[in-house]
Amino acid sequence: MSFIQLLEEVSDQVSYELQRRYNRPLQNIPFNLKLYYAVQYWTIKLKISEHENITNFILKNSQLDAVIELTEYLKTESTTKEKTFKLPSPLGDLPTIFKTKNDFYNHINSFLYQMSIRSDNMKIIVLIGFVTVAVGYWVYIINHKKEPQQETNKPEIRPPESVSNPPSSPVQRITRQFLVLVISASQIDFLNSLSAKRQIDVIDGEKLYELTKYLWTGSDADYQQIKSNISRYQIYPEQQSEYDICLVYIELKRIDPAFQPNVNQLDRYDAFRKLGDLTVNFEISSRLQMEAYGDFAVYNR
């Protein structure tokens, strides 16, 4: 299959999935969400998704503020035929408006024409997604090449024979485990009542199972690193949308295997019902943009 065919196919898949999942016109779906799906589908098409660490690295970094700003700028420039400039009038009248051709737009469209690619907004985003995957893959490989290699053929160092005390047993480190649930912000009343109770009973666990769209499990270190960036997705009252989400952060005594990906739904349901017994503590985020869960490598409930 040629690159042009791949581009067409990924563009169609991303468009279909976005409209199916969010049930609204493509122009009303945020750019960073379109880019996230484009990157995700490219990792599948290029078989990078078979390497979970690389895929997670690319997806996570594709949603960094700097990457989003740069890629959105490229998308805007490549779809804007003319640039508009306003010059203030020295007499205080209305500013004079000038329009000039956008050379970047002309270069991009000339390239697409020579590649026999029909230009539209989604194909531009999917093409940017391809570049994002390529750069992310290259950065991942470069970073891992810099990791120091283990030294070999070192002489074994033995303790003096006069030492007779047995070695002390290693200190056991307790690693906290976390479960994160992605729930629609339309369920805020239930979530507020759950927060007020400060505990999860069996009925609450069943309700959480029904409401959870995606979930994530991981260690304290991963959890803290990801959570520290979530505040950038906070929603202000005038920005609220029906697609907003809340995240339920739950500290667990241990990770139940039934919370892992690709588990039988009966086992998953039972794990949610037992959630109260496993929970050490939990908190519920404020209202967030739907893109917030992209920082966690979530999977379907």
33-42, 158-167, 230-239, range with greatest mean pLDDT: 33-42
Query: Residue 77 pLDDT more than 60?
Result: yes
More confident residue, 184 or 51: 184
pLDDT band for position 234 (cuts 50, 70, 90):
confident
pLDDT of residue 33: 77
| Res 156: pLDDT | 47
What are the tokens at 93? Answer: 């009248």
Across residues 19-29, what is the average pLDDT? 75
111 or 210: which carries more pLDDT confidence?
A: 210
pTM, to two decimals: 0.46
Average pLDDT of every residue of the chain? 79
What is residue 201's three-state secondary structure? coil
Q: Do 249 and 176 form a contact (C-beta atoms < 8 A)?
A: no
Q: What would the mean pLDDT of 116-143 be, rounded to a whole number?
A: 83
**Sequence spans of domains, the chain:** 3-140, 177-300
Which pLDDT does position 161 carry in this prediction?
Answer: 44
Question: Which of 29-43, 58-72, 272-286 ranks highest by mean pLDDT?
Answer: 272-286
pLDDT at 107 over 80: no
With a pLDDT cut of 90, the percent of the chain lying above it is 4
Estimate the crossing angle of helix 265-273 against helix 202-211, to 10 degrees: 140
pLDDT mean over 66-87? 77
What's the one-letter identity of residue 158?
A: R
| pLDDT(93) > 70 | no
Q: Is the pLDDT of residue 52 over 70?
A: yes
Pair 248, 183: CB distance under 8 Å:
yes
Which three-class secondary structure state does DSSP give residue 181?
strand
Residues 6+ apart with CB under 8 A from 208: 181, 183, 200, 248, 272, 275
